[in-house]
Amino acid sequence: MSKTEKNKYPAGWRTAFITLWLGCFITGMGYSMTMPFISLFMATMGHYSKLQLNLYSGLAFAMTFIAQALISPYWGSLADRKGRKLMCLRASGVMSLTIFITGLATSAWFIIVMRFIQGLFSGYINNATALMASETPHRRSGWVMSQMMTAGTAGNLVGPLLGGSLSGIFGYRIPFFITGVLMLLVFFTTKYLVHEQFTPVAREEMKPMKEIMHEVPDLRLIIIMFITTMIVQSSTMSIDPIVSLYVRDMMHGAGNVAFVAGIVAATPGLGTLISASKVGHTMDAIGPQKVLRIGLIAATILFIPMAMTNSPWLLAFLRFLLGIASAGMMPAAQTVLTLNVPQESFGRIFSYNQSFQAIGAVLGSLMGSTISGVSTYAMVFLTTGFTLLLNFLLVVFLTKVHPKAN
């Protein structure tokens, strides 16, 4: 096979990429349209104490990630036998139902149960990413992984603004109904516009995971990428829940705290969105492992002044820079996986990666809430920076930089 043929996109690749990018955008937007307001929605359903409301909100948040961590390996095995497109259809179809039905909830426990069910069947973004990884020439994997990340990031930027506006005008149920309808649209566009180059594999013909792991050139590298995914996700989830409270402290409760906090919360996504394409091309040029190392050390350094500043605007700028660094962390880890595991095991490898991501989300939220409760908000930033430093040291001292796949 010539070099030109090897780097040629399959037929229908562009249509599939645009469709899945939009699907990931809507998934990210739908999540951020509804989740920031879940506690306010619950508060309308009964006379809950502050402790009850915080507990129910935490459970609603955590249940999805707990379910994902438990079920992802099963879906990954099924993806390797039946294809990633089917997994995208499963996720978008069930999510459209569960999210819509959540809008009909009459109690906090109903929401918690629906969130658990949603977690059991979620995974559109991860499966869409795995599908594009399997369809993309290796030389262009870095750019594609970065672009797929921008989809969810862009959705997360738009979602809170749209969800807040709709909730303020029409009530908290409307965003759930709209998200349910949009996910149904994602289901149909994925079904009819995405064509995966995949041949179904019988269960008895599949290599066991143990055998695949033995065939991986550098198993330690794969395990460290799983850990990296967990720590990077944890670093995000430890900060997000306390950012608005940190801003309120800096502003001493004066002024439009919600507006300023919204800007501070959104700036990392903006930084990631602006830099993702350039970072992706850089990954393709110098390799994802080098980009990952740069992203980890840059993020570690940025968390130090974040913990020390008394200005919400400086915090917003530093978080914008953090967003640029983030564009070189999660996509880089996913690109390393793409380039270093057999294609027939993409589904299972990416599902394990999703499990570690879900574990990171749970650990991060617990870490952030616990540390801020017993210490200070600044200590959350310092602790998070320290975990990223440990991750950087793991990557530097326990992995070797592999040459880029040709």
Q: Find how far residue 95's CA is from the centre of its chain.
A: 16
Task: Say how far apart CA 98 and CA 252 lie, in whole Å.
Answer: 40
Question: Quick one: pLDDT at residue 174?
Answer: 93
Q: Which residues of the chain have pLDDT under 50?
A: 1-2, 5, 405-406
- Whether residue 257 sits in one domain with residue 162: no
The DSSP code for 8 is: P
Q: Which pLDDT value is given to residue 382?
A: 96
Question: How many other C-beta atoms can be found within 10 angstroms of the C-beta atom of residue 342?
Answer: 12
pLDDT of residue 191: 96
Q: Are residues 404 and 276 in the same domain?
A: yes
* Closest alpha carbon to 151 in 280, 54, 261: 280
User: In the prediction, which pLDDT does 345 show?
Assistant: 77
Same domain, 187 and 224: no
Domain-located, residue 203:
no
Same domain, 320 and 233: yes
Q: Are residues 257 and 111 in the same domain?
A: no
Domain end marker among 152, 168, 194: 194
pTM of the model: 0.78
Q: Which of 162, 194, 226 is the last residue of a domain?
A: 194
> What whole-number distance in Å separates Cα of residue 341 and Cα of residue 351?
13
Domain match, 100 and 172 both: yes
CA 389/CA 383 separation, integer angstroms:
10
Structure confidence at residue 10 (pLDDT): 76
Q: What is the CATH number of the domain that holds 342?
A: 1.20.1250.20
Give the total number of structural domains in the chain.
2
Within a domain: residue 292? yes
Q: What is the pLDDT of residue 405?
A: 45
Q: Is residue 5 situated within a structural domain?
A: no
State the pLDDT at residue 385: 96
pLDDT of 2 reads 47
pLDDT at site 311? 93
| Residues 321, 300: Cα–Cα separation, whole Å | 12
Q: Per the domain annotation, does 7 fall within a domain?
A: no
- For 281-344, where are the E strands, in sequence order? none
Residue 204 confidence (pLDDT): 67
At 22 the pLDDT is: 97
**6, part of any domain:** no
Structural domain of residue 336, as residue ranges? Answer: 211-406
